Chains A and B, each alone.
Chain A
Amino acid sequence: MYEKDGEKYFIVDSHMHYWNAAPSNWVKGAEQYAKGWIECFHAYQGLGPQETHWPIEKFMAYTEDDLMKDVFQDGYVDIAVFQPTYLKEWYAEGFNTTERNAALGEKHPGMFIANTRFDPRDGDVGLVELARNVERYGSKGVKLYTAEWNNGSRGYKLSDPAAYRYLEKAQELGVKNIHVHKGPTIWPLDKDAFDVSDVDHAATDFPELNFIVEHVGLPRIEDFCFMATQEPNVYAGLSVVIGGLMHARPKFFARVMGELLFWVGEDKMTFGSDYGIWEPKWQIEGFVDWDYPSDEFSDFPRVTTATKKKILGLNAARLYDIKVPAEYQLPVVPSAREAEESAQLVTES
């Protein structure tokens, strides 16, 4: 919970991690990739405020105590959603697995949602594992990393028939939210690896599922925006957007937020700290204080307290059926008026 100027914000951190990238977890023969990966993540932390930077040793293997303090005690978060990333080609026990996350979650009931993941290239075995994870951990969401390496293959598309088989299974198991990583990736080498058209196909064919595009397709925000306007079940996951731009590049942060508010809308944007890349505290404080810096932005949608409440928690609470106490909810009057207006429109037409 965060409170500022008499306004109370319910905070759902919809995209965070508990990883182990210590050298003891690096796969023999793949050390350069394991090291390169975590160093790359660490450089991203450099885009946040100086006083929040960690030494690489801590960054590789922060502890449970670090996480509980940074996210909940200091970081205002009410509910945090674990998003696993396996990368078992590089990290022996995985970078950030469902099991590892859930084990921490079980110690702190009611504070975490443990999402799981799948990889369509794992065939029937993977389907069984998905069912087991959903059953055991109550996962309502999955994190998909389409650029992940797997037995010589360096990626897949969400529109592949094998991926559809998994999406069907996930839906049958009661999974609602598909978080797709569309940010910095490597494969396919000769195409644009940031291409979001596969999400477009899947979102059309699975209208009951929500597709949260993490990192908003950066650096292809425009492709993501055009796609999101056409698909009612596509959301913008703001991890990296707030962490990577708000402090380091405020002007570009304003432009990107303006575009997202215009194309995607405040009802379909969700906050994610991307912890341990960035601590949530400064991101939440900064975002609640944030507004467009100048008149240059007058033709973008306005940012209100309600906008921020939705983005910081209420939208994700809706996706995950989280009960939000009344004091954090928005007043119901405007939505009632909207309902009346739309009813009138229907009558008039």
Chain B
Amino acid sequence: MTVTTDTTVASAALSALATVRDPELDEPITTLGFVASCVVSCEGRAVVRLRLPTYFCAPNFAFLMVADAYDAVTAVPRVTSAEVILEDHFASDVINQGVAAQAGFVKSFDGEAVAELGDLRAQFLRKAVMAGTDQVCRPLVAAGVTPAELQALTLGAVPATPEMSRLRQRRQELGLPSDDSSPLLVDPATGDRIAETAVPLHLRKARVTRAGIEANTSICSGMLRVRYPGEGMG
């Protein structure tokens, strides 16, 4: 069978894939190089191939990415069906079949998992909020903003940088206060404003959380390059 590709729809599908993030690394799967290929036939049948840095990457995060990619591509206009294939992973078959059947994580890994992955995703979104707090606050601190001033700042009073909009978006996803009048510094678990005396420790925690995520991302991208020397798509 010859597959003819609808490049316009394929390009739209790729844009949709750019909205899918590795929940742990908090980066789009496209920039991470996880999308090996994305094609859409003239009949609207999309086939996406994903790849990960190692054979043993955590199956829970892998499942989330495959499922999110499936949802994102299925929602693209003129895509009539989507198949997302995770390659070269110890749980490829289970994940691919589970996502294709819309079975959910627990049913896909029958007997090996007892909970869906919503809590896990939220846990990592909270880490992303902490890391984002460091990204936004570090330049402010460098410019001389004191802990007391930071504590009093609202989201609307902070310069609108890409880091700021990213932080606001993550807070929205978690259901944390995210309008202009919301405090800049909040506890990512409760949404409560951070007390002034707790600001230095909060910033330290934000910094180490960001260091952890970025170091992890750097190891994952290094491993991916060792495993797949070619560039990914997106």
Co-assembled chains A and B: yes
Q: Could you list which residues of chain A lie within 8 angstroms of chain B, going by C-beta atoms?
A: 32-33, 36-37, 39-40, 43-44, 46-47, 154, 184-193, 218-222, 225-226, 244-245, 248-249, 252-253, 255-256, 258-259, 262-263
Closest to A185 in B: B58
**Is there contact, CB below 8 Å, between B218 and A192?**
no
Taking A47-B226, A225-B208 as contacts, is the C-beta distance between A255 and B214 under 8 angstroms?
Answer: yes
A74 to chain B, nearest CB (A): 24
Taking A249-B222, A259-B211 as contacts, is the C-beta distance between A37 and B56 under 8 angstroms?
Answer: yes
Chain B 200-234 per-residue mask, 1 if CB under 8 angstroms from chain A, else 0: 00001101110111111011001101110000000
**Is there contact, CB below 8 Å, between B113 and A259?**
no
**Is there contact, CB below 8 Å, between A43 and B54?**
yes
Chain B 9-33 per-residue mask, 1 if CB under 8 angstroms from chain A, else 0: 0000000000000001000000000
User: Chain A interface secondary structure, helix, strand, loop or mixed?
Assistant: helix
Alpha-carbon distance between A185 and B106 when the two chains are bound, in angstroms:
19
Closest to B57 in A: A184
A35 to chain B, nearest CB (A): 8
Closest to B223 in A: A43
Alpha-carbon distance between A225 and B113 when the two chains are bound, in angstroms:
28
**Is there contact, CB below 8 Å, between B54 and A256?**
no
Contact of A218 among B127, B207, B215 (CB under 8 A): B215
Taking A40-B54, A219-B213, A222-B127 as contacts, is the C-beta distance between A189 and B60 under 8 angstroms?
Answer: yes
A260 to chain B, nearest CB (A): 9
Taking A189-B113, A190-B115, A218-B219 as contacts, is the C-beta distance between A252 and B211 under 8 angstroms?
Answer: yes
Alpha-carbon distance between A46 and B220 when the two chains are bound, in angstroms:
12
Contacts A190-B109, A222-B127 supplied; 16 other A-B pairs, CB < 8 Å: A36-B90, A46-B223, A47-B219, A186-B59, A189-B112, A190-B116, A192-B123, A218-B216, A219-B24, A219-B212, A219-B219, A222-B205, A249-B218, A252-B211, A252-B215, A263-B208
CB neighbours of A258 from chain B (8 A)? 211
Kindly list the 3 A-B residue pairs having the minimum CB-CB distance in the complex, ordered from nearest.
Answer: A219-B216, A46-B226, A36-B55
CB neighbours of B117 from chain A (8 A)? 190
Taking A188-B113, A190-B120 as contacts, is the C-beta distance between A222 and B212 under 8 angstroms?
Answer: yes
Alpha-carbon distance between A32 and B93 when the two chains are bound, in angstroms:
13
Q: Could you list which residues of chain B lie within 8 angstroms of chain A, going by C-beta atoms?
A: 24, 53-56, 58-60, 90, 105-106, 109, 112-117, 120, 123, 127, 130, 204-205, 207-209, 211-216, 218-219, 222-223, 225-227
**Is there contact, CB below 8 Å, between B218 and A252?**
yes
Taking A33-B90, A189-B112, A245-B219 as contacts, is the C-beta distance between A255 and B211 under 8 angstroms?
Answer: yes
Alpha-carbon distance between A36 and B54 when the two chains are bound, in angstroms:
8
CB neighbours of A36 from chain B (8 A)? 55-56, 90
Alpha-carbon distance between A184 and B227 when the two chains are bound, in angstroms:
17
A64 to chain B, nearest CB (A): 27
Alpha-carbon distance between A73 and B140 when the two chains are bound, in angstroms:
51
Closest to A53 in B: B226
**Is there contact, CB below 8 Å, between A186 and B58?**
yes
Alpha-carbon distance between A192 and B64 when the two chains are bound, in angstroms:
13
Alpha-carbon distance between A47 and B216 when the two chains are bound, in angstroms:
13
A237 to chain B, nearest CB (A): 16
B140 to chain A, nearest CB (A): 15
Alpha-carbon distance between A191 and B212 when the two chains are bound, in angstroms:
19
CB neighbours of A256 from chain B (8 A)? 211-212, 215
Show 28 residue pairs from A and B whose CB-CB distance is below 8 angstroms, ordered by the A residue.
A32-B90, A36-B56, A37-B55, A37-B56, A40-B54, A40-B55, A43-B54, A43-B223, A43-B226, A43-B227, A46-B222, A189-B60, A189-B109, A190-B105, A190-B109, A190-B113, A190-B120, A191-B120, A193-B60, A218-B219, A219-B213, A220-B212, A222-B127, A222-B209, A248-B218, A248-B222, A253-B215, A262-B208
CB neighbours of A244 from chain B (8 A)? 219, 222
Taking A36-B55, A43-B54 as contacts, is the C-beta distance between A252 and B214 under 8 angstroms?
Answer: yes
Closest to A37 in B: B56
CB neighbours of A245 from chain B (8 A)? 215, 218-219
B213 to chain A, nearest CB (A): 7
Closest to B225 in A: A46
**Is there contact, CB below 8 Å, between B211 and A39?**
no
A197 to chain B, nearest CB (A): 12
**Is there contact, CB below 8 Å, between A154 and B112?**
yes
Taking A252-B214, A255-B215 as contacts, is the C-beta distance between A186 and B56 under 8 angstroms?
Answer: yes
**Is there contact, CB below 8 Å, between A189 and B59?**
yes
Contact of B215 among A188, A221, A262 (CB under 8 A): A221
Closest to A220 in B: B212
